[in-house]
Amino acid sequence: MSVDLRSDTVTRPTGAMREAMARAPVGDDVYGEDPTVNELQEFAAALLGKERALYLPSATMSNQVAVLAHTERGDELFCDVDAHVYGAEAGSPAMLAGVMCHTLPAVGGIVAADVLEAAIRPANIHHPRPRLLTLENTHNGAALHPDRLAATVAVARAHGLSIHLDGARLFNAAVALNLSARTLTEPVDSVTVCLSKGLGAPMGALLAGSNAFIERALRYRKALGGGLRQAGIVAAGGLFALRHHVERMADDHRRARTLASALSGLPGMRVVEAEVPTNMVMVDLDGASGPLVDQGRGVGVLFGSMGPGRLRLVTHLDVDDAGIAAAADFFTKVARERRGA
């Protein structure tokens, strides 16, 4: 059998989700007249504890609309050196918003409070204006408890920074930590949630924040080409996902732990343990990752590389227990072959 562990972005709509999409009433969302989009936005805002939410085509667009809405050209954005908003979104903060990204070292996705404090320069016409801190949850598959971010958030607030949370996999974190999503978003001004990863919708993301913030975001969504027309058809998939696919993420986390356990004792491989793991298994190799990725593809076991010596395996709603067993068997066989060589 084949199993696709490259990312939770490869999920496909379930039959029940497709049925909900087919039945969805629609209208022109740019005019604010799509009833399904409006229902999704209202449902998500309540779920995330924010005044208002906005539907966008992707989480990347959501993050970049947030940067635009929080900043002005020449402002300074602080983030983890490995932040998605900085390193995996085509340089958009510079290209679109004209802001300077000040990247900071982090441990487990958390920039320490004293590191942020030292990075914020005093007001001076020679300096960029410190304006925005971005955070991630989950970060490389690890769920971050808000208590662990509290000191950093306090420093940001003391200096008047706005805070945006890239919560593309926020509901994975909420399930893993047994906390509500709104508890995780309470300390921040805005949050992005992706609907097409572990939630399993075919496309879309949500940006949530205050009424005033979303009014600004609406203009930037339009400017970036994100204004959709009869979007209720796809928004219905996101609404179905939020109502039916959140709690089931615990199954993805359980399967990721099963896979991590199967790989942890294999020679030449080291599972990178996260403090609160979710649906990602990171594996460091003694050798290069590329040949192993190719070998897996040849037998229908698909997974990704996170660099020359690291693998990433991601569980999701299209991976069942049999798929986990097939992946474990593949890696066990590879380890035995290499040990015997």
What's the pLDDT tens digit per position in 110-136?
A: 999 999 999 999 999 999 999 999 999
Integer Cα distance of 17 and 202 in angstroms:
10
- Summarised one tens digit per residue, pLDDT across range 60-110 is 999 999 999 999 999 999 999 999 999 999 999 999 999 999 999 999 899
Q: Of 77, 43, 252, which Cα lies nearest the Cα of 166?
A: 77
The backbone torsions φ and ψ at residue 251, rounded to the nearest 5 degrees and listed phi first, read: -65, -40
* Mean pLDDT of all residues in 213-238: 98
Torsion of CA 289, 291, 292, 296, to 10 degrees: 140
| Per-residue pLDDT at 170 exceeds 80 | yes
Domains in the chain with CATH codes:
13-244 (3.40.640.10), 248-340 (3.90.1150.10)
Read off the DSSP letter of residue 287. Answer: S
Predicted structure pTM score:
0.96
Specify the DSSP element, H or E, that contains 163: strand 162-166
